[in-house]
Amino acid sequence: MKLAGLKSIDDAHDESVWAVTWVPATDSRPALLLTGSLDETVRLWQPDELINRGKMTGHCLGVASVAAHPSGRIAASASLDSFVRIFDVDTNNTVASLEAPPSEVWQLRFNPQGTMLAVAGGGSASIKVWDTATWDIVATLSIPRPEGTKPTDKSSSKKFVLSVAWSPDGRRIACGSMDGTVSVFDTDRAKFLHHLEGHFMPVRSLVFSPVEPRLLFTGSDDAHVHMYDAEGKTLVGAMSGHAGWVLSVDVSTDGAAVATGSSDRTVRLWDISMRGAVQTMSNHTDQVWGVAFRPGGMPGRLASVSDDKSISLYDYS
């Protein structure tokens, strides 16, 4: 497996680029790249030339996360202004605007079925789940307090939730917290199941394997990538090599490779079976906040975005 650089665009945004995802293809257009930035905008790009297909405004602070609905027709952006904006990808019309209390909107992800949107709830120590038909909150999945702490404790007993991921069947949600805890929930019963131990620094990104539904990958500020059996509660592998925080992690659609972006300014490709890095890409000149594999078959594509305001696109084979 390997990555080959296809195209890079400097100054893709006016400020740091914090978020990237792929919008699935529709009958009328190919898959597009969606990026979100500190410059308060969301932008659309057509691969492989990274032609700018539109600039979405509507937030009054930086965009921390972007997500695309599996239909490819709508997408969502979460901002430090505490709003989640749902918009039509092709017209930029606002479909819904969801408001949360301050610092309670971080990473967001649609479930594979497209019926729900999960938002990492930051200081609320929970995941909020919205119904995509009505845009009402249908569940608040709260991380239980550690045993022995009183509800009045203002200590670090409260989890600050940074990241969120759905299992491929939509029956599990996992979230990563500032203290390194990974928590797993049963979505059918809206019930906390268990914690996954092993990280002791913020878990800013996590993703389930599209091929092995129990396999969860996490990236942490401790510079490690962990592989967990999310059902069996076991750490099944750990990979290291980055010289800084692991800010973003994604799995290839064939389930064979993991890509990571780091504060060490590199993108790494990891062979899951070998439990090791097979390639390091040094396109960026600042920390790499986001990596994303294009869903679907070959030819494979990986995109990365950075504090250096650039986007890079790679061929994955």
- Is residue 152, in this structure, part of any structural domain at all? no
174-215, pLDDT tens digit by residue?
A: 999 999 999 999 999 999 999 999 999 999 999 999 999 999
What are phi and psi for residue 33, nearest 5 degrees?
Answer: -100, 135
Q: Is residue 150 part of a domain?
A: no
Identify whether 74 is part of a domain.
yes
CA angle at 266 for the pair 293 and 123, rounded to the nearest 5°: 75
Residue 149 lies in a domain: no
CATH code: domain of residue 285: 2.130.10.10
Q: Is residue 93 part of a domain?
A: yes
Kindly report, residue by residue over 123-174, the tens digit of the pLDDT: 899 999 999 999 999 999 999 876 655 555 554 456 899 999 999 999 999 9
> What's the pLDDT at 104?
83
Residues contacting 150, CB < 8 A, separation 6+: none
Residue 153 located in a structural domain? no
**pLDDT at residue number 146:** 66
Closest CA to 270 of 239, 313, 231, 302: 239
Per-residue model confidence (pLDDT) at position 59: 85
Q: Number of folded domains in the chain?
A: 1
Does 205 fall in a domain? yes
Report pLDDT for 105. Answer: 87
Structural domain including 194 reads 3-144+158-316
What is d(CA 95, CA 133) in angstroms, rounded to the nearest whole number?
Answer: 11
Kindly give the parts of the chain with pLDDT less than 70. 146-158
Q: Is residue 190 part of a domain?
A: yes
